[in-house]
Structure 1
């Protein structure tokens, strides 16, 4: 059995935060196709092009991307990364770490590879994108970042990478 944890807007697409799947030995691509088939009618669209997918806490792009095999007892976290908002930006320091939050306009060209390209180009930065609908305000974002940074410092991240940890906490 595969456990699928749905975060953010994906929860709204399936009207639940968890799906238990009686299948195994699927690729992530096959899993996504199956999810599209079982998505309830009259729910939000399930945007399959803007997803961060973690298998047992590891970003699938660090594995074999959409060809990653998912097996019995695996936990697959599906996190939408669609964005929108204004051009405001906030810079601050938290736990001796400089941070910046800014809104991005929804752009059809925005995709997971864009984030990976930025991360490759700026390896000294931790870069993450979060749908602005899931941020309650600046204090909320600062608190989540603080918790993730504290967890990183104490080796208690919810996943192997801080970028994924941040998403899981929203």
Structure 2
């Protein structure tokens, strides 16, 4: 029998990462509560203890990150699609649900797709913005809108005329002119 190496998988214990997180929080993020008014409170933790725990956490994270495989099993039918950024995205069919949102595998890509089970296709999720100058309809990734902070604007340069359009979330108060009915 000939074996074909697929990669390496480094196992890790989520509870260990949780314990490291809690230890770092105790050492570096939280100030101790004094037991009486005579007890002084140190504003900063012990630098050596913090550095030691950070090194321990980094070693654990490095070990996990060195694995080249990240999946729950081999086998099953696989479907794939190419993102508009050029990345080939693969998913196991048995793990997909109709209407499920699937993000591109590239960390810096804002594209996402809706899986349609009827024809096993992935439809790009977009937000249509009509240019305020030329009425051209511009498509931007829906994730940009979903992640847009309330205190920031997104600059969209119109593909039709090159005009700058700014998108931002805005809170409006609408006054009712007619009474509500409970029909």
Regarding TM over 0.5, the answer is: no
Q: TM-score interval w.r.t. the shorter chain?
A: under 0.3
Higher helix proportion: 1
What TM-score do the two structures reach when normalised by structure 1? 0.22
Structure with more contact order per residue of length (Cα contacts < 8 Å, sep ≥ 6)? 1
